[in-house]
Structure 1
Amino acid sequence: MIAETKYGKAVAFLRSGFFAFGLLLSAVWEGPVAAQDNEEAALSREEIVQLVVLANLEFTLLHEIGHALIDHFELPVFGREEDAADQIATTTMILRNNADVDAYAIDRLLAVSGQWLSEWKEERRVLGSAHAFWDSHSLSIQRFYNINCLLYGANPDELSFLLDSEGLPAERGFLCEDAYKLAYRSNLWLLENYGRAATDIVPFHGLTVEFQPTRDPRHEKVRGWIVSSGLVRDIAARATEFFPWRREVPVRFVNCPGSAEAFYNRNVAEITVCYELLELFLTSVEKDFAAELAVVCGNAGLRRLFAARLSCLPE
């Protein structure tokens, strides 16, 4: 587990919204006591990168499971299905990780919202104002605020720094505790009305997990993190335990050359996650870290304090 500073998460949003800087300072100021040399410092940064990648995978998988639940049980949806799937994913992640009480778990949700902010900034750089406003998904910046709102609503005391900041303007933030209560009640309604009962027939149908062989060393690196963490199989087991699926719902990790995406195919009731999407998460956090490391290593005072821990290059 990565230790965190009292102000680590606040710093993340005070500096252009990048969560990476706050997590970086967490590792530097209150990281493992034993981390005295460059190799151990690099390991602590690797742990942070792994946290961010796996947190974004968790959100992605729960989002697609949300689509599967809506399709399989013909759930009523008022509004866009993509927004409903996002809300299922965010609320489930909050409850699954105890983010309403666990400060470490909050970092996982901030890592997800931070990824949406990074994607928004990249989209603006590449597309300018030519965004796909017609798309079935909310804009990346809207998804950033939506996650922050539900997270703040679940734990307003721990996240008080977020209110009236770049991460959550006050005009939105004042509505977020009620928004989270509504999302929480919706999750309870889903379990009470469609959850598995003790009398349901066994053996269970449910989610199965399959990893195709990777074709790229970076893909294999992330696949190794996923397998060793047990994250995907745990989520699949919980979804199987909680809901009486009428058929198997395969979750397949596959190679998708040129396509960084994940999707639920309702024609065959199957979830696909592309290794390329996981590489996008990895590349994004590495890019953010590189930018923030340059800031720290380029500052004479910070460099003097943390050069060894951060492996700053000689001047």
Structure 2
Amino acid sequence: MFRVFSASALLSLVLLAFPQPLRADGAQDFVTANIISTLYHEFGHALINITDAPVLGQEEDAADILSVVLLDAFWEEDAAQSITALTALSFELAAQENEDPAYWDVHGLDMQRYYNQVCLFYGADPETRAELAQDFELPEERAASCVDEFNLAADSWAAVLEPLETQKPSKSIQFNGETSSEIGALLADEIHELNSSYHLPKSIAVKLESCGEENAFYDPETTAITICTEYVDFLQRQAIANDL
């Protein structure tokens, strides 16, 4: 099932939520794209938790992979490329900002996440996405393995996703937040699409709220995904600082 949004339509989803200085197309798309990718990433953590899916390697890598798999599956080509490119750009900017990489962290290094994002997305449709891979300077030696990497990733996640597929819209994912804000409306729309595709064995909540840190996370004890408003603010500042 493909989402019928163009890259320009991403802008209209969040335009009213932000102050005038941020109302440049690139900045708006940057914020929106990274919220979507982050939601899919945290959804990956939720699925691993509630389905007891086996994870070989770091769970953070598996969640990053699901984000790309869902972007490829749910969105039409122009929008999927835009979201992927802007998510990769966020990793690149983070790498530039972090002078002292946290080698001990459970997340991969920012530039590793950058190249993994581009490689997996390119590998899903190399003929259509060759220009994107070139624009993001994916090395030829890595590009040669990207089709196999994506196929392995998609097959691995299919073992989790296919038993959850539904023809009848589900309500197993609930949004706990105000839809009067554009980010809230965006999250509610994404949750509707996920519920239209999957029925989960255990309900999960998605919350948009202040939590005192620039973060987004899944809590297995409450089976809740939280998108912190401070994280949204961080994306806004990152976009402004880099003249997007």
> How far 1:239 sits from its partner (Å)?
2.7
Structure 1 Cα separation of the partners of residues 196 and 78 of structure 2: 27
Q: Which residue of 2 aligns with 1:70?
A: 48
Q: What is the correspondence of 1:61-210 to structure 2 with a 5 Å cutoff?
A: 61-98=39-76, 102-124=77-99, 127=100, 131-163=101-133, 167-196=137-166, 204-210=170-176
- Write the distance in 1 (CA, Å) between the matches of 2:69 and 2:75: 10
Normalization by structure 1: what TM-score?
0.65
Q: Which of these two proteins has the greater Rg computed from alpha carbons?
A: 1
Cross-structure match for 2:14? none
Question: What do residues 242-263 of structure 1 show as CA deviations (whole Å, max 9, x unaligned)?
Answer: 3333443111111123x10010
TM-superposed CA distance for 1:90, in Å, is 1.3
- 1:159-217: per-residue Cα shift (whole Å, max 9, x none)? 3235567631111111111112222223433232343477xxxx95511112269xxxx
Change (3 A) 1:83 1:44: closer
Structure 2 counterpart of 1:278? 232
Give distance in 2, aligned partners of 1:2 and 1:204: 27
Q: Is the 8 A contact 2:50 2:202 kept in 1?
A: no
Is contact 2:45-2:218 (8 Å) kept?
Answer: yes
Output the CA distance in 2 between the equivalents of 1:256 and 1:167: 36
What is the CA deviation profile of residues 280-299 of structure 1, one whole-angstrom value per residue up to 9, with x for unaligned ones?
11111111117xxxxxxxxx
User: 1 CA distance for matches of 2:40 and 2:25?
Assistant: 22
Other structure's SS at 1:250 match:
strand
Letter aligned with residue 106 of structure 1: Q
1:235 and 2:201 equivalent? no
| Conserved? CA contact 2:122–2:129, under 8 Å | yes
Is residue 191 of structure 2 the alignment partner of residue 225 of structure 1? no
Given the alignment, which residue of 238, 246, 250 partners 2:205?
250
Equivalent position amino acid for 2:195 in 1: T
Aligned length: 228
User: Within 1, Cα distance between the matches of 2:170 and 2:75?
Assistant: 25
Conservation of the 8 A alpha-carbon contact between 1:212 and 1:254: no
Q: SS of 1:62's equivalent?
A: helix
Taking structure 1 as reference, are residues 232 and 166 closer, same or farther at Cα in structure 2, changes over 3 Å only?
Answer: closer
Measure the CA separation in 1 of the matches of 2:23 and 2:170. 40
Does the alignment pair 1:46 with 2:24?
yes
CA RMSD of aligned residues (A): 2.7
**Retained in 2: the 8 A contact 1:253–1:273?**
yes
Identity %: 29
Q: CA deviation at 1:65?
A: 0.7
The letter for the 1-side match of 2:210 is N
- Taking the aligned partners of 2:202 and 2:121, their CA distance within structure 1 comes to 33
Deviation at 1:104, TM superposition (A): 4.1
Question: SS where residue 105 of structure 2 aligns?
Answer: coil
Structure 1: state its 5+ residue gaps.
4-41, 214-222, 291-315
Tell me the CA shift for residue 149 of structure 1: 0.2
Structure 1 runs of 4+ aligned residues shifted over 6 Å read none
Which residue is equivalent to 1:211?
177
